[in-house]
Amino acid sequence: MLPPALPQFDTQSDVASEPGAESSGLRTWDLVVAGGGPAGFMAAITAAEAGVRQVVLLESTPTPLGKVLISGGGRCNVTHADWDPRSLVGHYPRGGKALLGPFSRFATGDTVAWFAERGLSLVQEDDGRLFPTSNRASSVAASLRNAALAAGVTLRTAVALQAAEPLPAGGFRLALRAGGGLLERLETRQLVLATGSHPSGRRLAADLGHGLVPPVPSLFTLALAGAGMGDLAGLVMDPVGLSLELAEGRFRQSGPVLFTHRGLSGPAVLRLTAFAARSLKAVAYRCELGVDWSGGRSLADLEALFASLRSDQARKQLGAWRPWPELARRLWTVLLEQQAVDPQQRWADLSRTQQQRLIEALRASRYQVSGRGPFGEEFVTAGGVPLKELNLATMASRKQAGLYLVGELLDVDGVTGGFNFQHCWTSGWLAGRAIAATADPRQAS
């Protein structure tokens, strides 16, 4: 049962739509979107631009688009320059091939064009990430808020959806709560849940008949036990090969790695933990990590390289002459110490046994993972509403008519680099278009 109606309140920050019709004495909207993040804004804007007249967007915090504002160090990595949907789906540990259909309708190129049409240009960096030309996340947030206002969307902040009751004739009766505990009830013909990873959204989805894949952390750094690498904090190595041997299989990634005071971070680590998220949870984040510091060099290549160094650099000290220039001096010194090899020893005096140990350390070091590192701003949750419970062409619920689910509420998560935002843009756009088409068959195709 919904709580009884109390005196209504108004915490609107942007009001553009006209008053809704009255039904059963309650204010009625054509569409209510719960969640003022990227997916929610995209769904509300798209529906309103396609002709849905009464759209209200609810955000439970005082500031909408909070994740947009802090992402990418305050720059907002809007999406990634992977233009082919068949390639794009490979960046999603959960979702994968199921997203091929949605991305075939709205993907990276569509996102770039969508923002460009609304006055926001994006620039591509060398690693493929796309940021606003202004290099400020606030530009992305402003673009979305301006588009919502221009489309006639009513934005209400500090208002949270507490409960949703399906009505016999269709639509929903909603209970809202604002700061101070004030309650309000209203009705809507269609409802979008865009609540991200917040537990309240999962509860609402479950109350409306949906199952849930238990959430687990994804995209996190790794803490290492007794690795003796604390002095390397801040150092970046690229490329580094990483591997985990877990009960559910072997996970591999290669790319840049950043040393932290507690262990390892960087793109390769975040990708590894994203794909291995559930397997790592199953072992309580205690396992062995394999690391290839050699850049993928073969055993034969390294043996030949060491042989030439023992000959050509015979008088040089090991600590003063690294095997190759890209191998960081600080890391090389640590590897020498870990293998009990004196950095002041000359290359000519390197024994065969010492050489084998150093080559093994370069190609296949082993470290004990002792847990997850601190969460960063790119933290993502794996889990949520199973994709099989949605029509992925429209993001409509298969469990409840008139209900749509988008964004991180779904059991979809991408690796770092703009991929999670891309899923938000795609799912929100699909839902908005589908809602408009349902409201009026002449709207949207």
d(CA 429, CA 289): 40
State both tokens at 350: 């390197």
Terminal Cα distance for the chain, rounded: 38
pLDDT of residue 187: 97
pLDDT of residue 6: 31
* Neighbour tally for 435: CB within 10 Å: 32
pLDDT of residue 10: 39
d(CA 352, CA 389): 60
pLDDT of residue 376: 46
pTM: 0.86
Among 110-119, 180-189, 375-384, 415-424, the least confident range: 375-384
d(CA 192, CA 147): 18
Q: Model confidence over 13-43: pLDDT tens digits?
A: 444 434 444 445 688 999 999 999 999 999 9
d(CA 368, CA 371): 9
